[in-house]
Structure 1
Amino acid sequence: MAYKHIIDSERCKGCGLCVNFCPKNVLELTRKVNAKGHFPVHQARPEDCIHCAICCTVCPDVAIQIVETQTT
């Protein structure tokens, strides 16, 4: 199965919980400000992501999703 990691940068308030809890250090805060004035998170090292969904679980704003993608 293949998975896709999706971050809603406009919903993210840049609290950093997902960054702190990611076991593979995949996530980092960006230097770009979103419309609400926050520095959202992004996948700095997507190839290291193990799709454990800890980031999704700890995100208080439900800004992160991991979804299954179809492989053909």
Structure 2
Amino acid sequence: MSEAVKAKNRSFVVEINQEWCKGCYICVDVCPVEGIFHIEEEVSDKGFRRVGAVNLERCTGCMLCELLCPDLAVFVKDI
């Protein structure tokens, strides 16, 4: 998943590598803006529900999701 977002007059791309995401939901918990991430309904073949990103236009670009992801599955890139 990759979508461009604007924050503080800067553009970001937020990507979640679904193959690496194990559904720990740390990104959901640490995000200072409620509603950017959501937990998908479908259970993966590994037995957990992955995280998806929505409402990316509200993203502040703080990068907490990327910095604290233990599986390095979240990327916030300046474009």
Instruction: Please confirm whether the aligned pair reaches a TM-score higher than 0.5, indicating the same fold.
Output: yes
TM range (shorter): 0.7 to 0.9
Q: Is the Cα–Cα contact under 8 Å of residues 7 and 65 in structure 1 kept in the other structure?
A: yes
CA RMSD of aligned residues (A): 1.3
Pick the structure with more strand per residue: 2
Count of aligned residue pairs for this structure pair:
69
Q: Is the Cα–Cα contact under 8 Å of residues 10 and 36 in structure 1 kept in the other structure?
A: no
- 5+ unaligned residues in a row in structure 2: which ranges? 1-9
- Runs of 4+ aligned residues of structure 1 deviating over 3 Å after TM superposition are none
Residue of structure 2 in register with 1:7 after alignment: 16
Q: Is the Cα–Cα contact under 8 Å of residues 27 and 41 in structure 1 kept in the other structure?
A: yes
Q: Identical aligned pairs, as a percentage?
A: 32
- 5+ unaligned residues in a row in structure 1: which ranges? none
